[in-house]
Every structure is written in structure tokens, then in C-alpha cells.
Chain A
Amino acid sequence: MMDLLNILLSESFWAASLRIATPLIFGVLGALICERSGVLNLGIEGIFVVGAMCGWMTVWLGSGLWGGVLVAACAGALFGLLHAILTVPLGLSQHVSGLGITLFATSVSYFTYRTALPNVSSPPRIEPFQALDIPVLSDLPFLGPVLFQQTALTWLALLMVLLVWYVLQRTALGVAIKAVGDNPDSVDAQGLSVYGLRIGAIVAGSALMALGGAFLTMSAFDAFFFGMVNGRGWVCIALVIFASWRPGKALFGALLFGAFDALQVRLQTEMGALVPGQIFLMAPYILSIIALVIAARSADYPRALLTPWFKGQR
């Protein structure tokens, strides 16, 4: 019990929580934007892989880190555009298209990586984002290590929470995106383009998802591995429902998940002798299912989610 308290009071635990939460923040925000416009994007898992691969490879080929981030976002946007074309103007099954995008994006990434590096035993490393070292702030007790010694991408993620919240709550564009996910007919009646809004939301959301992947290879680790995304995208899809499609709650959900994951790693080292380590590895996925079950009953789904809309048809 004392041990648990020690963990919860330690700076390193909270710093790790925020670090683990970062890719999820990007992912949940991305999925949230797509779903708010009425389209489920199950391409998320594959778009994470693309972001991770493209970001890493761009830097490995000699670009700067921010160049890698930009390429990752563009690659994610491109796969998002493909999903958008299939699901919006063509109105195809969002489930199947999303799974197709995940399979396609993953295999494109793996094939590209293998073709560029046919015979490597240990994956080549890049110089990843370093922890920011802000004078004074980074030296603050507790808050310094937790908040101000994170990498720039974590800060970008937190900034994106604010930006997405602002756009959705305070701008006409946000109102339109939410309306198109609830009642596309009304948006169409106002002379706005349902297709345009949905496609735009999916492309923007997918770019954010890819940043979550880029964080993995450019900040959390310094290389690309097969299977490194490991279900993080699917966790985000569960977290969006838990967050009832709100950016602030999405941040909370991602942090909660991050804290839980950080806790299980620490408990694993403390209690490793008593319980098989895999119990702890399973825990985050089980937690996601529990969160989903709790939230599902009262979930206020965007009303037009999963429903295709065709111009000129009611």
C-alpha cells in the first residue's frame, strides 16, 4: 500500500503518464473530429503505422524532425482522403472501408520499410525529439519534470486539445461540423456542402492520428518496429466513446489511460514475482473495454454517425 502511494506521488510516474497519453491524445482527437462529422474512421490503427513509419523515415533520410512531423501528417491526411472518398460521396460501409484502410496503410508502410531496408537486424535509430528544457519552469518542483520536461510533440498534443475545443465550440466551422454529424439535411438546406465538411473533417482527423504514430518513432522511441502501434488506434476508438465526443474529456480519458499504463509498468516491477507479467500487459485493453461498457449506455452518439448521405435523396 505504501508502495502504491509512493508511486502515485512520484514525479516520474506523472511524467510517464503524460508521455504515454500523448499518442492517444492525438488519436482520440483525430477520431473525435471524424465521428463528430458523422464518419467512423477505423483506418486509425493503420494511419498510426503510416505516421510512425513516414515520420521516422523522413528524418532517417536526412530531414529535420519537424519535416518528419509534417510528412507524417500529410501521409495520414492522404489515407484519410481515401477513406473520405469511399465513405462520403460513395457512401460505402464505414466499418469495412476503415478496416481496409488499416490493412492497406499497414501493408504499404511495412512494404516500404522492408524495401528500403531489406536486411537489417537492428532497426536504424534517429536522433528523436529531446525533452524541452525551459529555464525556470523546468526547475519547478513536481510540475517541472511532469509538464516542462516533456518533448515538443507532447506540447503540440496539448495545444491541439485547445485548438480542437476552440474550433468545435467557438467557430462557425465547428458548428457546421457538429451539425453535419447530427443532421446533414439541415446543413444541406443552409447551402453548405455536406461532402466538403465531412471530407475535410476526415482528412484533418487522419492527419492528427498520424501525429500520434509519429510520436512513437520520433519521441517515445527512436526507431520503427513492426507491430509497434499494438492496438493504440483501437484504444482511441474506445476512448472517444468514453469521452462522449468532447475534446476536454478526451484529454482526461487519454491521461487516465496513460496513468493506468504507467502504473501497471511500475506495479509489474514491484510485484513481478507474485503475478505473471502478462496480467499487467492485458490491463490497459481490459480497462478500455470496461470504459466502453460504462460509457456505452449513456453514449450520445452523433446522430448521423455511420449513416451515408447522398445529395438529392432524403
Chain B
Amino acid sequence: MIRIEPREATSRTFSVGVPVLSALISLAFAAIPLLAAGANPITAYGEMFKGVFGSVFAVTEMLTRATPLIFTGLAAALAFRAKLWNIGGEGQLYLGAMAAVAIGSGLLDISGILLIPIIIVLGAAAGAAGMAAPTYLKVRFGADEVVTTLLLNFIILIFVQMMLEGPLQDPMGLGWPQSAPVLDQGMLPPLMDRMRVHSGLILALVLAGLAQFMLARSVWGFKLRAVGENAAAARHAGINVNRSLFGVALISGGFAGLAGVSEVAGLKGYLTADLSPGFGYTGIVVAMLAGLSPIGVVIAALFIASVFVGADGMSRAMGVSSFLADLVVSVSLLCVLVGGFIAKYRIVRSGKAGATT
């Protein structure tokens, strides 16, 4: 008889090894769809590598792609730590982006350096509001936040389309559903000449570091972890659970909103309804690969951005669909989930285990 029993302690080897192995397995898995598409996997991996690391431009493109994923990854990681299932990163991203263009494209004609911080703060606030609402419905009515945040993603995206055909539409845009551009003084400065990588990346890295510190060292972080591990026990210990949930909801939504700010005010310059190719959802994978650790999020976001940028390059060179990247990303999520099981439990013959208890 085979039995499953928990390991006494999860070692550090596992917490680093599982995500790394998951990443490698998911990359190896890509050989199957590559073969099915009639491509030589070795050549394809080569093209992918070249697509990410083949030139300075390629690396900066990867960093550009990683930037929103760090934000949405942090959004998911912090919320999941408190067992608040924020699946609404995609919608919150668009709320942040909408706030950024609404303010940044001329509503506030502020010259000098003041416009950027205002855009950042209000963009984050818009995202935070987008997570506060479902958290209220959860705390007040017991409405499952998984479902409400998922449904809100669709509502918000339709709302964006409505705004882009209405109040936010660029009057000079010849009727295209896109917003007016963010003013020059509202744009996050680029990090390198003639490259797209922008200072949103720096903001993401600083916030990841701050989140790591707060989570590990602060009272707030302690309460958050306590609520996530056992809400009833935390309540019993005198922690105001609802307040903790709202706190993390605002921060999580704020991070997702910043992903939108950074895409609009750092990269695109204006808002369209196809701003995000699912960064909010991919952020969940990033957070899981990272083991819900903020520093881990940075590393996982770099990996996943490499997969996307590499697959784009491979797709251009070999004509294999770039949906391959989504496939690899989803497989990596499933792998890390199974890996988490292996790290937490071991399988034993119950005859032997019975003797020890």
C-alpha cells in the first residue's frame, strides 16, 4: 500500500530546485509541439536563444517584456500569500493604463517632473480600486473573489473599448479606437538610446525589493503571512483579518495598475484595447514559478519574458506559431505545481510508516 505523508521540513534545495527544474522541463516539453509542427527542435531552440540573447537589442526587448510581468507577478504573489485569489490582474492593469492616459494626455498640463509621479500614484490607485471592489464583495457578502475578479476582467476590457470610442478617444486619431498620447513630460524616460527598455523596469525592481523586505521583516508582512496560513488562527491571535485582506488587496491591485502605467507611459505612449496580451494572467504563472517570493518574481518574469521573446524570434525565423510560448508557460505552471507536491510530501510504503508511528 502506498501512502503520502508530509516531509518534516521543506529544504532550500527544493524551493530553488523545483522552479528551475520546472522551467527546464517546460522548455524540453516544447520539443513535442515543435516536432508536431514539423520543425527541427534543435534549430528552434537555437533560434529562441538567438532571439533573446543574440544582440543587445534582443536583451533589451526581453527586459521590456519582463517589466509588466514583474508588476503583475508581484500583484499575484502578494495576494496569493494572503490566500486572496486575485485573478483580476488583467483588468486592474487596464484600469491603471486608463488612469495614466486620462491624466497624462493633457488633462493635467503640468510641466516639469511632477507629472510622472502623479501618473504613477493615480495609476496604482485605479488598479487598487479595481481589487478593493471584489474584496469588499468577498468580505461583506462572501462572494468568491476568483469568480468576481475573473468576470471583472471582461467588464473592464469592454469599458476600455467604450472609453476609447468615447471620452478617451484621440481627437486627432482619425476615428481609431485609441487614446491621445501621453505628454512627453509624462513619459517614463528610456534607459538606453534607441532601445525600448524604459525606467518602468527600475520602478519594478525597486518595488520588488521593497515588497521582499516588507514581507519578510515588517509586522505587516508577518500579519499577511499569518492570515494566509490560517485565517481563523490569525483572527484568534487578534489580527484584524479583514483589514489585512483589504491592505493586501490595495497593494496587489496597485501593482497590477502599475503594469498598465508602465506599458502606457513607458512603452506605447497611448492606450489601445490590445495593450496587454494577457500580462495579468501570465503574472499568476510568474508568481507561482517564483514560489510567491517577490525576488523570485523578478527571476521568473525574466524567464517567462525570455520564453515569449525567444518564441517570437523563432516564429519569425521558422514559421512555427508563437502560441508555442503560451504552451511552454502553461506547462511550466503545471510542472511547478507538481514540483511543489514533491517538495512537500513524500510517498512511502505504509507498512514501514505504520511501524514508526
Binding site for B on A (CB under 8 A): 42, 82, 86, 90-93, 95-97, 99-101, 103-104, 106-108, 110-111, 114-115, 118, 230-231, 234-235, 237-238, 241, 276, 278-279, 281-282, 285-286, 288-289, 292-293, 296-297, 299, 310-313
B141/A293 in contact, CB under 8 A: yes
| Chain B contacts for A100, CB-based, 8 A | 330, 333-334, 337
B337/A103 in contact, CB under 8 A: no
Interface size range of chain B in the complex: 35 or more
User: How close is A250's CB to chain B, nearest CB, in angstroms?
Assistant: 15
Instruction: Report the Cα distance A35→B269, complex, angstroms.
Output: 45
| Chain B contacts for A310, CB-based, 8 A | 4
| Chain B contacts for A276, CB-based, 8 A | 162, 165-166
Q: Is B146 an interface residue (CB 8 A)?
A: yes
Instruction: Report the Cα distance A279→B153, complex, angstroms.
Output: 15
4 residue pairs, one from A and one from B, having the closest CB atoms: A114-B321, A107-B326, A103-B330, A278-B162
| Chain A contacts for B142, CB-based, 8 A | 296-297, 299
Q: B319-350 vs A: 1/0 string, CB under 8 Å?
A: 11101101101110110011011000000001
Q: B279-298 vs A: 1/0 string, CB under 8 Å?
A: 00100110010000000000
A-B contact pairs, 29 of them (CB 8 A): A90-B341, A92-B341, A95-B85, A96-B288, A97-B337, A99-B281, A100-B337, A101-B334, A103-B281, A103-B330, A104-B327, A107-B323, A111-B37, A114-B321, A115-B36, A115-B320, A238-B151, A278-B158, A278-B159, A278-B162, A278-B165, A285-B151, A285-B155, A289-B143, A292-B144, A292-B147, A292-B148, A296-B144, A313-B5
| Chain B contacts for A237, CB-based, 8 A | 146-147, 150
A103/B33 in contact, CB under 8 A: no
Most buried by A among B37, B154, B281: B154
| Chain B contacts for A234, CB-based, 8 A | 147, 150-151, 154
User: How close is B327's CB to chain A, nearest CB, in angstroms?
Assistant: 4
Binding site for A on B (CB under 8 A): 3-5, 33, 36-37, 85, 87, 137, 141-144, 146-148, 150-155, 158-159, 161-162, 165-166, 281, 284-285, 288, 319-321, 323-324, 326-327, 329-331, 333-334, 337-338, 340-341, 350
User: How close is B347's CB to chain A, nearest CB, in angstroms?
Assistant: 10
B338/A282 in contact, CB under 8 A: no
| Chain B contacts for A231, CB-based, 8 A | 150-151, 153-154
**A231-B151, A285-B151 as given contacts; A92 in contact with B324, CB under 8 Å:** no
User: How close is A123's CB to chain B, nearest CB, in angstroms?
Assistant: 15
| Chain B contacts for A312, CB-based, 8 A | 3, 350
